[in-house]
Structure 1
């Protein structure tokens, strides 16, 4: 199979998943973002990279955000939000973060394929990203990671509209020391 053929199959497989995403879960997630005092985000591996990209765009929208792994993150408080991205919902470091956040009264939202996971049981809300493989068998969690990034970007676009943010305004918040 050549690269363009594989890419086409990947895009078809991702597109086939979209109808299984629950819009009400997304709406609850957006509401939690808009009402949070501070937003903390965490994921590991490639899911962590996707959630880092989401954190970056939330910052461009003007939200106060921190990755849990940043040394400069502020103290968590009541009214804050922790967003976790985990394909399996069983990542031990994320479970530890969730327990700590729960003890502090921080709201937890989980992006996952596993609605019955340990993390799902700790979360206040979940956004289930059910993955059904039709043709390709991409390595590990690739389809989840790809769909997560696209879902995060779709949420950013939706929030842009709701908050009346323009790409120009977002760009004004872009890093200028790179």
Structure 2
């Protein structure tokens, strides 16, 4: 078997995170948020930025934490963190600031008991390894988590499209035209 086939088989054996009861709460939080902030570091940060792009195309008001144009947070906002380990000090600091400003905190992680997860109103656990955990994954470090979260975010985008009655043509109206 090829490496790609092995990776696809490993992804196929993952527990579906959409079965988590908090997924519906996350969707409701996304829909009701005044502004959605998204944050992560490293490869997990790249996955959450892909989700930020889809949310923008769906018509949500979003900000990626760390961008120079990021506005102040307010009550009624939502921040979504993507962090396998939940131990990144800058993400924990961001979560504490968000909570102080009455921003709802959602965390996608492998570690429900991490310091970042302890700041969360909603936790979506992905049953995969982080770069710090022991694993039987065929892939290095957090690759399985990162792939799983990208698929999770695309699945959430599809669910949001259905709920909101939005199609791909509607999303194209929000697609970047200064590329």
Fold shared, TM-score > 0.5 on shorter chain: yes
Calculate the aligned-residue CA RMSD, in Å: 1.4
Specify which of 63, 68, 71 is matched with residue 71 of structure 1: 68
For 1:24, the equivalent position in structure 2 comes to: 21
Higher helix share: 1
| Among candidates 127, 130, 152, match of residue 127 of structure 2 | 130
Deviations 1:55-114 (A, max 9, x none): 000000000000001110111000000000000011111000001001000000000000
Q: Which residue of 2 aligns with 1:34?
A: 31
CA contact (8 A) 1:38 1:81 kept: yes
**Matched residue pairs, number?**
174
| 1:54 aligned onto 2:44 | no
Post-superposition offset of 1:20 = 5.8
Which stretch of structure 1 is more off in the superposition, 7-16 or 32-41?
7-16
1:8 to 5, 8, 19: 5
Q: What's the offset of the Cα at 1:19?
A: 3.7
Contact in 2 for aligned 1:21/1:129 (Cα 8 Å): no
SS in 2 for 1:118: coil
Whole-angstrom distance in 2 between the partners of 1:57 and 1:45: 19
Within 1, Cα distance between the matches of 2:124 and 2:19?
7
Helix, strand or coil at the partner of 1:138: coil
Any unmatched runs of 5+ in structure 1? none
Residue 172 of structure 2 is matched in structure 1 by 171
Structure 1 pair 62–19 and aligned structure 2 pair: CA distance change class (3 A)? closer
Contact 1:22 1:127 in 2 (8 A): no
Is the deviation greater in 136-145 or in 58-67? 136-145
Q: Is the 8 A contact 2:15 2:127 kept in 1?
A: no
Aligned position for 2:87: 90
